[in-house]
Amino acid sequence: MSAQGPTSGEAKEAYKLALFQAAEKAARIVEESLSSSETDTSEKSKKAEVKRALELLAIVEGGESVQSSDSLSSTTLSL
């Protein structure tokens, strides 16, 4: 990183990294949700977890605020 800020190449790499990390987290949420037993998690909460994972991807993909019912009520990613 230079004193003037990141180059377009650095920004692209940061974007790729953020997208990969969000996809990885989303996959982990879905995997955990689907692998849990029915006694642990209801179908409704599984759907909520999948929705949350998809919202994480939407945040990175669009760089926009996404309203969610989890602990992060609004998150913005700006690259």
Domain assignment of residue 18, yes or no: yes
Res 64 pLDDT > 60: no
Domain assignment of residue 79, yes or no: no
Using only C-alpha atoms, the chain has a radius of gyration, in whole angstroms, of: 16
Domain assignment of residue 55, yes or no: yes
CA angle in degrees (0–180, nearest 5) for 65-70-73: 35
Domain assignment of residue 40, yes or no: yes
Q: What is the pLDDT of residue 6?
A: 59
Domain assignment of residue 3, yes or no: no
User: Are the CB atoms for 79 and 7 separated by under 8 Å?
Assistant: no
Host domain of residue 46? 9-62
Domain assignment of residue 20, yes or no: yes
Q: What total of structural domains would you count in the chain?
A: 1
| Predicted confidence (pLDDT) per residue in 6-24, tens digit | 578 888 888 888 888 888 8
Domain assignment of residue 33, yes or no: yes
Q: Measure the CA–CA gap between 30 and 22, rounded to whole angstroms.
A: 12
